[in-house]
Amino acid sequence: MNRRRLIAWIATAVTSMMLVIGSQFVNLSPASSTTTLNVYAAVSLTNALNDIKTQYQSANPSVNVVYTFGASGTLLTQIQGGAPADIFISAATDQLDVLQNSNPSKIVSGSRKNVVKNRLVLIAPTTAPVSAGSAALTTINGLTNANITGIAIGDYTGTPPVVPAGNYAKQVLTSRGIFTTVSPKLSLAPNVRAVLTAVENKTITVNGVSKTIDAGFVYKTDAAISNKVRVVETALTTESDPIVYPLGILTRTTVLSTAQSFSTYLSSTTAQNIFKNTYGFILP
């Protein structure tokens, strides 16, 4: 072997050795990966869950929580249509029941639990100009007065109902014997936050037609985040089904351990303090 060929052979050997050594260091380096957790949740939980997400991801930096908020009935339809939900948190039991009672069940056995509870309130606008009817409204029964012409309510149609808050409101009005009287005044909104916006703006657009809104039904926690509305009256707990937020992990999930971790975190002291002390939810 002449000198030139020897040098070339040595260079090749050294290069090969460096590649081998380098690959070992690469293999020893921990792989950085992020797990995405898709949570479909009732829109009334938006503010609280966003705060909780910040805390959870700080403690679990490898997890990316992605929320889809909406009316519980709408979310149910999306999930039934194949939406990539790992966790579903509804504002009523009906929507979870549909998934759990399907054959086969679409909810992981033993994963269902109630996260928080809430109360239903009637609200009216506080920002000028306020109609005489809104200004004088002091009770739910006052909705029958002639000077109240527009009432925003979540879409209570469908089986199960599209908007649980609307269904709870219908139950309250029925319990008081005034649903038939006020029914012509009702404007159906696609979710409870849309009701809040309608009362804040004193108007709602339904099928391209704008209507004046004097009052509306939302959850107590929705009213608490707005300085443009006041609580007229809080409905009695006996006037509607219990207002609970059940959680279920979907059997379609591919990140079961992460979903279980997040579910557990929602029951932690940190999360429960955010729900109760920051946003006014009732603990289960």
Q: Note the pLDDT tens digit of each residue in 92-125.
A: 999 999 999 999 999 999 999 999 999 999 999 9
Q: How far apart are CA 21 and CA 218, in angstroms?
A: 64
Could you tell me the residue range of the domain that residue 152 belongs to? Answer: 120-239
22 falls within a domain? no
23 falls within a domain? no
Residue 181 sits in a domain whose CATH number is: 3.40.190.10
**Position 9 pLDDT exceeds 60:** no
90 falls within a domain? yes
6 falls within a domain? no
| Radius of gyration from C-alpha coordinates of the chain | 27
Q: Are residues 235 and 250 in the same domain?
A: no
Q: How far apart are CA 143 and CA 277, in angstroms?
A: 31
Number of H helices, E strands in the chain: 11, 12
Q: Are residues 154 and 218 in the same domain?
A: yes
Q: Are residues 203 and 124 in the same domain?
A: yes
- DSSP strand pairing (186-189 vs 229-234): unpaired
230 falls within a domain? yes
And the tokens for 11?
A: 């260079």
Q: What are the tens digits of pLDDT across the range 185-236?
A: 999 999 999 999 999 999 999 989 999 999 999 999 999 999 999 999 999 9
Is residue 42 within 8 Å of residue 90, measured between CB atoms? yes
Q: Are residues 151 and 74 in the same domain?
A: no
Q: Are residues 160 and 267 in the same domain?
A: no
In angstroms, the Cα distances linking 281 to 113, 162, 164 are: 16, 22, 16
Q: Are residues 108 and 208 in the same domain?
A: no
Q: Are residues 78 and 91 in the same domain?
A: yes
Q: What are the tens digits of pLDDT across the range 139-152?
A: 999 999 999 999 99
**Position 178 pLDDT exceeds 90:** yes
- DSSP strand pairing (229-234 vs 209-212): unpaired
Q: What are the tens digits of pLDDT across the range 17-54?
A: 444 444 444 444 444 589 999 999 999 999 999 999 99
Amino acid at 172: V
Place of tokens 């975190």: 265
**Residue 14 binned pLDDT confidence (cut-offs 50, 70, 90):** very low
**Residue 2 binned pLDDT confidence (cut-offs 50, 70, 90):** low
Q: Are residues 94 and 144 in the same domain?
A: no
Q: What are the tens digits of pLDDT across the range 234-249?
A: 999 999 999 999 999 9
E strand segments, the chain: 35-42, 63-70, 87-89, 113-117, 120-125, 151-154, 186-189, 203-206, 209-212, 215-219, 229-234, 244-249
The number of distinct structural domains making up the chain is 2
Q: Which residue has the higher pLDDT, 12 or 216?
A: 216
